[in-house]
Amino acid sequence: MTTTALITGATAGIGNSFARALAKQGSNLVLVARDTARLEALAADLERKYKITAEVISADLATTEGMDRVAERLTESSAPVDLLVNNAGASLARWFGSTDIADEDRQLDLLVRAPMHLMDAALKTMVGRGRGAIINVASVAAFTPRGTYSAHKAWLVNLSQWANIKYSTAGITVQALCPGFTRTEFHQRMQAEIANVPKWMWLSSDAVVRGSLRDLKKGKPISVPSLRYKVLAFLSRHAPSGLVAKIAKKGR
């Protein structure tokens, strides 16, 4: 049976890798991002290569208008979405307390409010059909206090874990995907200094997506790609309080 996946932040990085992996599997797509030209180019490329259909929704999920437009598509019963990938995201280079609070509000809308609203729309339609899946792209930063970004991701991990328990009996799987440093446009856009990040800590977005989809089939509520980050995530959650405080002082 052909499935349909809606992916936010689909034009680059992890979202783009999800789009290509799912299209290769034969899934039809609903691609969401702000850049209409890049969306349309991606849709045309995937339709040509994989003979699937790819809808395009140009939307800024940090705005109520954009968020509502995507949520409305998730409630369409005539063309149901089987998999929601909440991937759209960004971050701020400076520490909370030195940033503009208006920028923090926008981040909160993009990283918390938008996924919450889209999950709500998806769950309400998936429950009625008795099947569906949601992947919320979080981060291993969720496991260590490191500013507002990690706080937003910790919130998303917590909600995903609960939703997976609550709605599993309705045939719905909810996963929090928690990658580490991944080669995307993410750090470039936030103008972060990454020269001091060791090469061994970097992941490819394709590898992250392969791990996520593999874990989704197994029904795992948390997917941490690669053994190195599984170990780091475990240590982060069980480290002595003094070490946690030392890491937290380094900011986001």
> How many helices (H) and strands (E) would you count in the chain?
10, 7
pLDDT at 94: 81
Taking the C-alpha atoms of residue 232 and residue 217, their distance in angstroms, rounded to an integer, is 24
Q: What is the pLDDT of residues 33-83, one digit of tens each?
A: 999 999 999 999 999 999 999 999 999 999 999 999 999 999 998 899 999
The per-residue DSSP string of 207-249 comes to: HHHHHHHHHHHTT-SEE--SHHHHHHHHHHHHS-HHHHHHHHT
Interval 207-219: pLDDT, tens: 999 999 999 999 9
Q: Distance between CA atoms of 84 and 221, rounded to whole angstroms?
A: 14
Asked whether 83 and 5 are in contact (CB, 8 A), the reply is yes
Instruction: For strands 132-137 and 172-177, give the pairing.
Output: parallel
Q: Which residues are catalytic?
A: 149
The ranges assigned to domains in the chain are 4-248
* pLDDT tens track, the chain, 252 positions: 679 999 999 999 999 999 999 999 999 999 999 999 999 999 999 999 999 999 999 999 999 999 999 999 999 988 999 999 999 988 787 888 888 999 999 999 999 999 999 999 999 999 999 999 999 999 998 888 878 999 999 999 999 999 999 999 999 999 999 997 666 555 455 445 555 656 656 688 999 999 999 999 999 999 998 777 676 766 666 555 554 455 445 544
Whole-number pLDDT of residue 200: 56
Closest listed residue to residue 159, CA positions, set 178, 127, 128, 136:
136
The pLDDT value given to residue 248: 46
The structure's pTM equals 0.86
What is the pLDDT, as a whole number, of residue 234? 65
Dihedral of alpha carbons 14, 20, 26, 31, sign: positive
**pLDDT given at position 174:** 98
- The pLDDT of residue 193 is 55
Q: Which residues of 39-59 are buried (b: 16+ CB within 10 A; e: fewer)?
A: beebbeebeeebebbbebbbb
What pLDDT score was predicted for residue 252? 42
Structure tokens at 117: 């609203």
CATH number for 4-248: choose from 3.40.50.720, 3.40.50.970, 3.90.226.10, 3.40.50.2300.
3.40.50.720
